[in-house]
Chain A
Amino acid sequence: MDNALTSSGMKKSFGRSLLYTLPMFLITFMFMTGGRPDFSRPASALAMVVTFLFVNILYFLMHYTGKTDKFRAILFIIFALSLSFTLINNMLETRNSMSFSQADILECKIPFCHLVIPMMILPAAFTNSIIFPGSIIGGFANIASMVVLWLVATLVLGRGFCSWGCFYGGWDDGFSRIRKKPAIKKISEIWKWMPFAVLIMVSLTAALSLIPTYCDWICPFKAVTEFEQVTSVESATKAVIFVSLFAGLVVVLPVLTRKRTQCGFLCPLGAINTVSNKVTPFTIKIDKKACTECFKCVEVCPLFALSTEGIKEGKASVFCSKCGKCVDACSKNAIHFGIKGVPSCTMKNFSRNLFLFVSFLFMSVFSAGSIINSLQSLLNLIF
């Protein structure tokens, strides 16, 4: 039965979808409330209830409609926006500015993000030191929790982290959806190797200078989070680079190409996640018998993971972030979520359910805090 699904085969009845949502409902409730809901502060309680319902409705709709990417993207984009909002809000409250000073660096007060991880590996291995001026275990966005979260996610989801866990990915994912059709269609596939070149560069420069060079010089998301105070030609140059890269790779190019250009052409962590795609149990599978070679999936893939040659061979490349865009686009249900070792045309529903549960749970738990904080801040602002 599971092997002969039609294009609408991933849809479920209302009751069955509700049943599939129940475990997510319970787990997210436990994570968001700690088992003891606190209604003493109305704004906080309202923000939590809204987030809880919102997350679970999205998960329910994934099962009910059989569509993945549409509902994933909603939470993913809101996650990115709310995290930037929370970070900026936090910095404005604690420092009255989005920029940080040398004193903040010396006091290790810089919030940590997962993009630093590639640069930490070599210095940590050779000098037993962490080159990022952040808090290791305590405080806001500490290093230990972020590293553990990323490690678990990348081992389980592989590059799926880039579409289900990264709190920056939602920015270019969002902008890539603005136009209905791409203005730039032909992009050389050579660029998909750029994150590896960036990874080599930033890892080595960080190891030699003991400075997280990607954060210091390149990261486009500095434009929407925090950046060094402009006090010299060097810091002004950095600010220009951050803003230009954000405008170019996160806004303009995604709008024009309908691709996630920052994630696909720059992010060094994406390169590591691409490699970890080799060990993750989840993958995208292509049923060659059902495939009509319309290549709609190749067209919609935001990260150049699918090619016409690959489709003919029945293979998705390691660049796949399991966003589900190709799965939703395939009218023949020939492309689907799968588990390694299981033949491509079998257990489609089971594989999807399992992958969705793991990945959506990670994203909802990871994003809930910042969404609740943002909502709470907005409610406090309004009332």
Chain B
Amino acid sequence: MTDSLILGLSSGSSCLVTCGMVMFPYLMAGSAGVKRIAIDLSLFLLTRLVIYFILATLAWYFGQALFSNQVVRNVVPGILYIVFAVMLVWYSISKNRNQECPAKIVKTVNNHRLVPIFLGIVNSLGFCPALFIILTKGATQGTLIQSYIAFLAFFIGSSIWFLPLPLAGKIRKKEVLKTIGILATGLAGIIFMIKGITNLIGGIING
């Protein structure tokens, strides 16, 4: 649970860095006050939670089918962790990370009421390395409940960053927060890389 939460926290920060400022005006546009902001944010977060639970279910079922053998259960996720963790580290050091936010397609939505739901879907399905890692984790859990818990922790970690979104305009040192967020993403990548290597070696030795 801890590593899922950390992964969520780190990916949430980088997600906010890339998409926060794009999503902010849409989430807040036309809002009449705190109540409306709270409703829109809640809808946005709820949509993400639902999507994550669907992904947790799918990942677990596919995991059960694919990783039936105990050695495969250690080795394949180990390799996947390493690959996705390298992608996550690469993402954190890449200079092109801020190129495009998928949430920009929200411009095509005319109904303002649907914007938070649409953003929630786009945001949670933005297939970034962190999501691949949590999908791998979900797939290797012993029970479906454990897979849900992993995704729930990932959701909580990543959602914390969105809660102060209404205050984004008032944060003075955005660049510093952005830098720390990006470095934290890289660190999360390293953590999962180590986890992957440990799994892989453990799988090979036990096999």
Which of the candidate stretches A16-24, A103-111, A199-207, A279-287 sits at the interface with the other chain?
A: A199-207
Flag the segment in A27-35, A189-197, A294-302, A360-368 that touches B. A189-197
Q: Which of A194-231 contact B (CB under 8 A)?
A: 194, 196-198, 200-201, 204-205, 208-209, 217
A197 to B183, CA, bound (A): 6
Task: Tell whether, in the assembled complex, residue B2 and residue A237 are in contact, meaning their CB atoms are under 8 Å apart.
Answer: no
Are B5 and A208 closer than 8 Å at their CB atoms? yes
- In the complex the two chains form, what is the Cα distance from A200 to B183 in whole Å? 11
Pick from A193, A217, A234, A237: contact of B183, CB under 8 Å? A193
* Nearest CB of chain A from residue B153's CB, rounded to whole Å: 9
A205 touches B205 (CB 8 A): no
Q: Is A237 a contact of B198 with CB atoms below 8 Å?
A: yes
Main secondary structure of the interface of A (DSSP, over half): helix
> Are the C-beta atoms of B184 and A201 separated by less than 8 Å?
yes
B180 touches A234 (CB 8 A): no
| Bound form: Cα–Cα A217–B184 in Å | 16
**Interface size range on A against B:** 10 to 19
Residues of B within 8 A of A1 (CB): none
Please, how many angstroms separate the alpha-carbon atoms of A194 and B183 in the complex? Answer: 6
Q: Are A200 and B198 in contact (CB under 8 A)?
A: no
- A193-B176, A197-B180, A204-B9 in contact; A233/B187 too (CB < 8 A)? no
What separation, in Å, do the CA atoms of A208 and B3 have in the docked complex? 9
Which of B9, B180, B194, B197 has a CB less than 8 Å from the CB of A193?
B180
Q: Which residue of A lies closest to B179 (CB)?
A: A193
How many residues of B sit at the interface, in one of the four size bands? 20 to 34
* With A193-B176, A197-B183 as contacts: A237 and B194 at CB distance below 8 Å: yes
Interface centre among A200, A209, A234, A241 (most CB of B within 10 A): A200
- How many Å from the CB of A122 to the closest CB on chain B? 13
Report how far A190 CA is from B182 CA in the complex, Å. Answer: 10
Report the separation of the CA atoms of residues A349 and B184 in the bound assembly, to the nearest whole angstrom: 42
Chain B min CB distance to A210 (Å): 10
The interface bits of chain B over 164-190 (1 if a CB of A lies within 8 angstroms of the residue's CB, else 0) are 000000000000100111011011100
Residues of A within 8 A of B9 (CB): 200, 204
Among B179, B197, B201, contact of A190 (Cβ-Cβ < 8 Å): B179
In angstroms, Cα B119 to Cα A282, docked, is 49
Closest CB-CB distance, A263 to chain B, in whole Å? 16
B187 partner, pick from A198, A208, A209, A237, beta carbons under 8 A: A198
Contact A201-B6, Cβ < 8 Å, known A233-B201, A233-B205, A237-B198: yes
Known contacts A196-B180, A201-B187, A204-B9: A233-B2 contact under CB 8 Å: no
- A298–B194 Cα distance when bound, in Å, is 36
A201 and B188 form a contact (CB under 8 A): yes
B183-A190 in contact (CB<8A)? yes
Cα distance, A237 to B199, chains bound together (Å) = 11
Complex Cα distance, B181 from A190, in Å, reads 11
Say yes or no: is B126 at the interface (Cβ < 8 Å to chain A).
no
Q: Shortest CB–CB separation between residue A280 and chain B, in angstroms? A: 20
A208 to B5, CA, bound (A): 9
**Given A190-B183, A193-B180, A197-B187, does the pair A233, B6 have CB atoms closer than 8 Å?**
no
- A234 CB contacts on chain B under 8 angstroms: 198, 202
Measured between beta carbons, the chain A residues less than 8 angstroms from B6 are 201, 204-205
Q: Are B202 and A233 in contact (CB under 8 A)?
A: yes
CA A85 to CA B205, docked complex, whole Å? 36
Q: Distance (Å) between the CB of B10 and the closest chain A CB?
A: 8
B125 contacts chain A at the CB level, 8 A cutoff:
no
- Shortest CB distance A330–B (Å): 28
Question: Considering residues A194, A197, A204, A209, which has the most beta carbons from chain B within 10 angstroms of its beta carbon?
Answer: A197
Task: Pick the contact of A208: B2, B183, B191, B201 (CB < 8 A).
Answer: B2
**Inside 8 A of B21's CB, which chain A residues have their CB?**
none
User: How distant is the Cα of A233 from the Cα of B207 in the complex, in angstroms?
Assistant: 14
14 contacts between A and B (CB under 8 A): A190-B183, A193-B176, A193-B183, A196-B183, A197-B180, A197-B181, A198-B187, A200-B180, A200-B184, A201-B184, A208-B1, A208-B2, A233-B202, A237-B201
Chain B contact residues, CB within 8 Å of chain A: 1-3, 5-6, 9-10, 176, 179-181, 183-184, 186-188, 191, 194, 197-198, 201-202, 205
Which 6 pairs between the two chains have the least Cβ-Cβ distance? A197-B183, A197-B184, A208-B2, A233-B202, A209-B2, A193-B179
